[in-house]
């Protein structure tokens, strides 16, 4: 992409309304624009990041055996009346009426609808286990939308729903999502800790929130420090096999959100030098809720004995749009964002230090073409801005690599490659630069 033809509205001033660094940087780097409280337009750079996150989430869901669908944002109220949630949900739900006075709502979540889809088609245990997911916008009329996309009102969520014949099956489905989440967040360059969480009226120990540690996080969490060092399950982990050991390796160590924290147990189970209490951002939550929706909605399946039982379910959410902010909270410096490579909007920023200078232009054009041919996403700053502004802009938007081309270096046949994260600079020939990124 040529910057001269792109749409990258950077802000010089720090927006006054932004209280935390990720929100400030998202506005300054031109990732999003607020259109109403908690409602954002995604600008080109932000949209690229959102799509990269979405893709990682999708790949890991598919790997774990979940099947993608797409449910609508608008839902009829009837489904929610069947489960009793229409009245229970309260003012967070955005309710509306169509021209025929039919009650609709903008979905805050999809248990009711997916259970309706399930009961319409599935009759037998032979179709199980089944896990259906979608990546769709949600609306929750939060009392205090804040921190930019981290607590929005309209936000993008991946929500998956598992269906099993019995609790043992449901547990296996839960474990699949648990392991998929460990992989998902780690692929985005995040260290997340699964923390025991409030399960609501169902009880049991089957809910975990996946937390990214950050001082600005809204959750207070307590855990064993070793959880920060746990190895992430590899890509070839067998999702049809027994995942219980992977899950138990972690759940054996104390980790809880403040809602379920037990100080006495924490002190008894965790040696003093291993205790950690910190703030964190919830980027995902997984949940076993059994027959909470299948019972009232009569979503039943016949078991091997022919007996019909309400299907056992769980739901599994990832805050896709919140992750954009959470990743920035976890990865930035004084100069701006430092994108982990897998979610960066472009791989390389190519900086022309003297646009209009024939030799510099030619060298840049050559690099631009060859780096793209090597499969890299390149943002080519071909504008007439002065070098200082170009450097500041590149640092602000945080692309992992900068390739800087100017007449002085070219005289020696060299261009500069800078790593955004470490700041390390290297002078290489244009050819060596291409080879470096082509591998």
Tokens of 391: 């450097």
| Contacted entry of Mg ion, ligand ATP, none for residue 377, CB cut-off 5 to 8 Å set by kind | none
Among residues 282, 312, 382, 395, the one that binds ligand ATP under rule CB under 6 A: 282
Q: Minimal distance in Å, beta carbon 315 to Mg ion?
A: 10
Query: How far apart are the C-alpha atoms of 177 and 197, rounded to whole Å?
Result: 15
Which of 6-14, 129-137, 142-150, 285-293 is the region at the interface with Mg ion (rule: CB under 5 A)? 285-293
155 contributes a contact to ligand ATP by CB under 6 A? yes
314 contributes a contact to ligand ATP by CB under 6 A? no
C-beta closer to ligand ATP: residue 173 or 352: 173
The count of chain residues that interact with Mg ion, using the rule CB under 5 A, is 1
Q: How many CA atoms lie within 13 A of 286 on its CB side?
A: 25
- The answer to whether the beta carbons of residues 336 and 376 sit under 8 Å apart is no
Neighbours of 77 (CB within 10 A): 17
Beta strands (DSSP E) in 320-433 are 332-333, 336-337, 348-352, 378-381, 401-405, 415-419, 425-428
Strand 207-213, strand 192-196: pairing: antiparallel
Among residues 30, 217, 314, 317, the one that binds ligand ATP under rule CB under 6 A: 317
152 contributes a contact to ligand ATP by CB under 6 A? yes
Whose structure tokens read 């929130």? Answer: 209
Query: How far apart are the C-alpha atoms of 102 and 86, rounded to whole Å?
Result: 14
Among residues 53, 71, 223, 283, the one that binds ligand ATP under rule CB under 6 A: 283
285 contributes a contact to Mg ion by CB under 5 A? yes
Q: Minimal distance in Å, beta carbon 294 to ligand ATP?
A: 19
- The answer to whether the beta carbons of residues 332 and 25 sit under 8 Å apart is yes
Tokens of 8: 């990258």
Among residues 107, 217, 319, 393, the one that binds ligand ATP under rule CB under 6 A: 319
Q: Minimal distance in Å, beta carbon 314 to Mg ion?
A: 13
Q: How many CA atoms lie within 13 A of 419 on its CB side?
A: 10
Query: How far apart are the C-alpha atoms of 343 and 347, rounded to whole Å?
Result: 9
112 contributes a contact to ligand ATP by CB under 6 A? no
Tokens of 308: 């019909």
Which of 51-59, 185-193, 313-321, 369-377 is the region at the interface with ligand ATP (rule: CB under 6 A)? 313-321
The closest residue (CB) to Mg ion is 285
Q: Which residues in this chain contact ligand ATP in the complex, by CB under 6 A? A: 109, 140, 142, 151-152, 155, 157, 282-285, 317, 319, 321-322
Q: Which residues in this chain contact Mg ion in the complex, by CB under 5 A? A: 285
């Amino acid at each position: 992409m040529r910057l001269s033809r792109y749409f990258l509205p950077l802000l010089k001033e720090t927006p006054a309304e932004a209280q935390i660094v990720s929100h400030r940087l998202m506005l300054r780097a031109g990732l999003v624009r607020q259109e109403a409280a908690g409602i954002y337009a995604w600008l080109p750079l932000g949209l690229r990041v959102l799509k990269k996150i979405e893709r990682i989430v999708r790949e890991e869901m598919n790997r774990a055996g979940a099947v993608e669908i797409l449910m609508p944002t608008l839902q009829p109220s009837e489904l929610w009346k069947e489960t009793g949630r229409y009245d229970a949900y309260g003012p967070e739900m955005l309710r509306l009426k169509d021209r025929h006075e039919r009650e609709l709502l903008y979905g805050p979540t999809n248990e009711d609808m997916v259970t309706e889809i399930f009961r319409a088609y599935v009759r037998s245990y032979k179709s199980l286990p089944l896990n259906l997911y979608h990546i769709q916008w949600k609306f929750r009329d939060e009392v205090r939308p804040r921190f930019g996309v981290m607590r929005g009102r309209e936000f993008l969520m991946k929500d998956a729903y598992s269906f099993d014949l019995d609790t043992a099956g449901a547990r296996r489905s839960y474990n699949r999502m648990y392991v998929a989440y460990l992989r998902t967040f780690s692929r985005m360059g995040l260290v997340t800790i699964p923390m025991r969480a409030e399960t609501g009226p169902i009880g049991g120990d089957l809910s975990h929130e996946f937390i990214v540690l950050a001082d600005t996080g809204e959750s207070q969490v307590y855990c064993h420090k070793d959880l920060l060092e746990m190895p992430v399950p590899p890509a070839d982990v067998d999702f049809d096999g027994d995942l219980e050991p992977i899950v138990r390796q972690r759940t054996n160590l104390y980790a809880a959100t403040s809602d379920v924290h037990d100080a006495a147990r924490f002190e008894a189970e965790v040696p003093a030098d291993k205790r950690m209490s910190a703030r964190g951002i919830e980027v995902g939550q997984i949940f076993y809720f059994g027959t909470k929706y299948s019972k009232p909605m009569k979503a039943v399946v016949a078991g091997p004995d022919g007996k019909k039982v309400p299907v056992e379910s769980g739901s599994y959410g990832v805050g896709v749009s919140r992750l954009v902010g959470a990743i920035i909270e976890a990865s930035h410096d004084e100069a701006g964002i430092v994108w982990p490579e897998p979610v960066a909007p472009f791989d390389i920023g190519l900086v022309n230090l003297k646009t209009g200078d024939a030799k510099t232009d030619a060298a840049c054009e050559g690099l631009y073409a060859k780096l793209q041919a090597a499969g890299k996403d390149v943002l080519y700053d071909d504008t007439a801005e002065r070098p200082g502004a170009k450097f500041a802009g590149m640092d602000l938007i945080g692309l992992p690599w900068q390739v800087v081309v100017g007449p002085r270096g070219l005289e020696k046949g060299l261009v500069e490659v800078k790593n955004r994260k470490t700041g390390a600079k290297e002078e290489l020939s244009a050819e060596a630069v291409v080879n470096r990124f082509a591998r």
